[in-house]
């Protein structure tokens, strides 16, 4: 199997491209190459000319934003299947955020100019790309709303609910990232995370295996405590929970 075939195998499972016909996936794959970054490496830097998009295949990266006064801060943490660098689709575009790896990360690099030409020649694919970008905007809208409306403990509770799996009558969530990275993802300090965990212990959330496993005694009660409506808790699903926080 050559690189184009292997990359097309990855692309067809990404949310952005899963509805595309095989010939379009293969054409897109021909614009791509594998890239591997070590831990703590800057993948893209804000304000630099945007030449490529990156689809994260394996690993976690941190997005940070710099305001007009030059202050910067983390705004999100992304993992497998996420796309960064859409600014590369626009002529003379510059990256809006910096992206740094939190661990060794494998990604597919998509040439920006080539992809833009491809979209100009494939109107329906451009519409699906537009739809995927709009979904990201809607997630950011939900994130902004949640940041405004929910307490730190509620947001941490929702984060745990997103990955919770039922085990022996309770729910458990494996914590796959360091607490410091989790704190940055949720826009909190480590101290706030500790206070939030203490607060959550009052509603049946406990830590096990040195904090690598979070046990939820009653997921429904926790969802209610976090302010999720019945429909949100039942129909939200993992993606909606993650978008919320």
Q: Taking CA 184 as the corner, what is the angle to CA 78 and CA 188, rounded to the nearest 5 degrees?
A: 135
**Smallest distance, another protein to C-beta of residue 116, A:** 6
Question: Rule CB under 8 A: is residue 231 a binding residue for another protein?
Answer: yes
- Going from the C-alpha of 218 to that of each of 41, 97, 100, 112, 165, the distances in angstroms are 40, 38, 36, 47, 12
Among 79, 80, 81, 135, binds another protein (CB under 8 A): 135
Output phi, psi for 226, to 5 deg.
-75, 0
Nearer to another protein, 106 or 139 (CB): 139
Among 131, 180, 190, 201, binds another protein (CB under 8 A): 131
Closest to 236 measured CA to CA, from 220, 212, 214: 220
Question: Rule CB under 8 A: is residue 136 a binding residue for another protein?
Answer: yes
Nearer to another protein, 69 or 168 (CB): 69
Nearer to another protein, 168 or 235 (CB): 235
Question: Rule CB under 8 A: is residue 237 a binding residue for another protein?
Answer: no
CA distance 54 to 80: 11
**Smallest distance, another protein to C-beta of residue 206, A:** 27
Give the single-character DSSP code of 174: E
Interface with another protein in residues 76-95 (CB under 8 A): 76, 86-87, 89-91, 93
């Amino acid at each position: 199997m050559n690189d184009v075939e292997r990359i097309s195998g990855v692309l067809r499972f990404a949310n952005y491209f899963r509805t595309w016909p095989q010939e379009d996936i293969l054409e897109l794959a021909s614009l791509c190459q594998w890239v591997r970054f070590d831990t703590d490496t800057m993948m893209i830097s804000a304000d630099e000319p945007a030449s490529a998009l990156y689809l994260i295949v394996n690993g976690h990266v941190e997005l940070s934003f710099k305001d007009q006064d030059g202050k910067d801060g983390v705004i999100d943490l992304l993992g497998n299947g996420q796309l960064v660098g859409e600014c590369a689709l626009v002529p003379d575009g510059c990256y809006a955020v910096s992206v740094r790896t939190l661990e060794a990360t494998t990604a597919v690099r998509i040439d920006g100019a080539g992809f833009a030409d491809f979209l100009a020649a494939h109107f329906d694919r451009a519409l699906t790309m537009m739809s995927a970008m709009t979904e990201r905007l809607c997630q950011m809208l939900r994130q902004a709303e949640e940041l405004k409306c929910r307490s730190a403990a509620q947001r941490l509770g929702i984060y745990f609910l997103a990955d919770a799996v039922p085990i022996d009558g309770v729910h458990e969530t494996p914590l796959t990232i360091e607490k410091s990275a989790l704190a940055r993802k949720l826009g909190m300090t480590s101290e706030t995370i500790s206070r939030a965990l203490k607060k959550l212990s009052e509603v049946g959330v406990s830590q096990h295996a040195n904090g690598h496993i979070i046990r939820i005694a009653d997921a429904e009660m926790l969802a209610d405590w976090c302010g999720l409506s019945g429909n949100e808790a039942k129909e939200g699903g993992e993606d909606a929970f993650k978008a919320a926080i």
